[in-house]
Structure 1
Amino acid sequence: MAKGYWIGRVEVQDEAAYRRYVEANAAAFSRYGARFLVRGGTFEAVEGESRSRNVVIEFDDYATALECYRSPEYAEAMAHRLPAAVSDIIVIEGYDGSQPGEGAPGTGS
């Protein structure tokens, strides 16, 4: 089964309030088995627009990723984030198929 992910791009406008969001989101992320793959870090926007902070969070599956986002625990955390930052967040199902160079010739892309 494919993993589920949150992909977020964030522009923090109020650091103190955003820290409260980070503290509060731990309850939801712990309950739903979230695992940070990217949490800030150095980056270079090689195409398109960017925000100053990028996050990728992994869940066991897409349904769990959505359930976490829609949970009461995350709603409580989000109440701290909304006035503190401008965010783009998507919940997306991971890819579980063949990769370039795997399988029959000509099927790797």
Structure 2
Amino acid sequence: MTAYAIARLQDVTMGPEIIEYLKKIDATLAPYGGRYLIHGGTTQVLEGSWQGDTIMLGFPSLDQAQSWYCSEAYRRILPLRTANAVGDVILVEGVEEGHRGVDILG
């Protein structure tokens, strides 16, 4: 089942390290079927507060998403982002086609 890596990044220092991270991340995604779905697009806040840039990556499965995040290739570049941005990152499994709200009731 499809899975997603979602990040909300704030206080990004756009310097040489973030640029290097951006140049290298695509190569870390490819072996795991990862692809960008959202990358800092315009955000319209409808409820609550939401600050920062939203990034969402799609993967074929939660296992693939976890394998990417834990991969040696990604771990090598991760400090380039964490030293230059504050944020939250989660992995979440998607739902099957045709899912309805009541489906979580069992």
Q: Which has the higher helix share?
A: 2
Task: Summarize the Cα distance change of 1:13–1:108 in structure 2 as closer, same or farther, 3 Å threshold.
Answer: closer
Larger Rg: 1
Q: Could you tell me which residue of structure 2 aligns to residue 11 of structure 1? A: 10
Q: How far, CA to CA, are the matches of 1:58 and 1:87 in structure 2?
A: 19
RMSD between aligned residues: 2.0
Q: How far, CA to CA, are the matches of 1:14 and 1:6 in structure 2?
A: 21
1:48-63 equivalent positions in 2, closer than 5 A:
48-63=48-63
Q: Could you tell me which residue of structure 1 aligns to residue 73 of structure 2? A: 73
Q: How far, CA to CA, are the matches of 1:19 and 1:12 in structure 2?
A: 15
Gaps of 5+ in 2: none
**Matching of residue 29 in structure 1 with residue 26 in structure 2:** no
Q: Could you tell me which residue of structure 2 aligns to residue 44 of structure 1? A: 44
Instruction: Give the percent of matched residue pairs that are identical in Structure 1 and Structure 2.
Output: 25
Kindly provide the amino acid, as one letter, of the partner of residue 2 in structure 2. K
Kindly provide the amino acid, as one letter, of the partner of residue 44 in structure 1. Q
Q: TM-score, normalised by structure 2?
A: 0.85
Q: How far, CA to CA, are the matches of 2:29 and 2:51 in structure 1?
A: 22
Gaps of 5+ in 1: 101-106
Q: Could you tell me which residue of structure 2 aligns to residue 104 of structure 1? A: none
Equivalent residue pairs, number = 103
User: What's the CA shift for 1:97?
Assistant: 5.7
Could you list the per-position Cα deviations for residues 47-73 of structure 1 after superposition, in whole angstroms to 9, with x for gaps in the alignment?
A: 233232101100010100011001111
